């Protein structure tokens, strides 16, 4: 089902209100936690880190909270980890993950890092008050592509002994459905030529994937057919038999602007699927 949203600025303002400080109860921020062994690799040591918004030490041993894992945008070539303000003060443990970038590494290494970050969360998020059985993976643009790839193509998490079907949900925002344009650029393929191969989420559509929420900006304002990619991706998930996948188009928002109002929609989706996963 396609839904169009005209969300006003008041909504975005409300998402930022009441964000906890880094030292105040009940949540704190722990920064730059490594999620993979650098083994002397300076780039891994610099980029493969997470920031975690989590209960303070007096609450960590209480009931485990659901988890949002967030991957930043940047075309797989730029960007830094950051915690979306709309995810704070929502009752979720939030993990903002960095990853290595092209051209320092091939684009597929970004997927490897994303999988390693999620695998680390499954193994360690309970130490920060999170519930490893209630993890929702999300991200914007390149981050949305990473969320879809590791959630649909089982080999990335399988490399860490994990199964993406244990995730509570996937929520890509304006993410590629086709093969990422950076992958195509590495092969000398222009950005206007669509490719669907093993590095495309569309290639891995399956009925037994975790619940999915796909969010796109306005089809007339989005980046280079990104809404149409999302629509085809959604349709193929439905055709193959996935029963819990939804596409939302946010009227009036372009590719960059969509990330603000999308945060509330991701939280609402995550609240539902993590409640159902209990």
Nearest of 106, 114, 101 to residue 35 by alpha carbon: 114
Q: What is the pLDDT of residue 61?
A: 64
Q: What is the pLDDT of residue 20?
A: 38
Q: Please provide the DSSP assignment of 50-105 as one string.
A: EEEEEE-TTTTTSSPEEEEEEE--STTTS------GGGTTSS-EEEEE----TTTS
Q: Which domain holds residue 138?
A: 2-276
Q: Is the pTM of this model over 0.75?
A: yes
Each residue's pLDDT expressed in tens, for the chain with a length of 278 residues: 334 433 333 233 333 333 333 334 489 999 999 999 999 999 999 999 999 999 987 666 668 999 999 999 999 999 999 999 999 999 999 999 999 999 999 999 999 999 999 999 999 999 999 999 999 999 999 999 999 999 999 999 999 999 999 999 999 999 999 999 999 999 999 999 999 999 999 999 999 999 999 999 999 999 999 999 999 999 999 999 999 999 999 999 999 999 999 999 999 999 999 999 98
CATH of residue 12's domain is 3.40.50.1820
Phi-psi region of 224 (alpha: psi -120 to 50; beta: other; left: phi over 0): left
Domain count, the chain: 1
Q: What is the pLDDT of residue 205?
A: 98
Is the peptide bond preceding residue 84 cis, with omega within 30 degrees of 0?
Answer: no
Residue 109 burial by CB count (10 A; 0-12/13-18/19+): exposed, middle or buried?
middle
């Amino acid at each position: 089902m396609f839904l169009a949203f005209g969300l006003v600025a008041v909504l975005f303002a409300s998402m930022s209100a009441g964000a906890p400080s880094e030292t105040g109860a009940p949540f704190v921020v722990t920064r730059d936690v490594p999620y993979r062994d650098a083994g002397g690799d300076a780039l891994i040591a610099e980029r493969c880190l997470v920031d975690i918004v989590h209960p303070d030490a007096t609450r960590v041993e209480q009931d485990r909270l659901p988890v949002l894992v967030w991957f930043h945008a940047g075309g797989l070539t730029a960007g830094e980890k950051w915690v979306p303000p709309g995810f704070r003060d929502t009752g979720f443990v939030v993990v903002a993950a960095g990853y290595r970038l092209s051209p320092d590494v091939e684009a597929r290494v970004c997927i490897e890092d994303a999988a390693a970050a999620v695998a680390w969360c499954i193994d360690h998020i309970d130490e920060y008050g999170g519930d490893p059985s209630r993890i929702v993976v999300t991200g914007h643009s390149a981050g949305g592509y990473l969320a879809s790839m590791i959630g649909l193509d089982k080999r990335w998490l399988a490399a860490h002994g994990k199964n993406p079907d244990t995730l509570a949900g996937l929520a890509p925002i304006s993410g590629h459905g086709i093969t990422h344009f950076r992958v195509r650029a590495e092969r000398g393929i222009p950005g206007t030529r669509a490719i669907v191969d093993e590095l495309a989420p569309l290639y891995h559509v399956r009925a037994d994937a975790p619940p999915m929420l796909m969010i796109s900006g306005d089809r007339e304002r989005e980046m280079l057919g990104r809404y149409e990619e999302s629509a085809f991706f959604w349709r193929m998930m439905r055709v193959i038999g996935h029963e819990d996948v939804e596409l939302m188009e946010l009227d009036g928002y372009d590719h960059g602007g969509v990330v603000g109002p999308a945060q509330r929609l991701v939280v609402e989706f995550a609240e539902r699927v993590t409640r159902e996963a209990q």
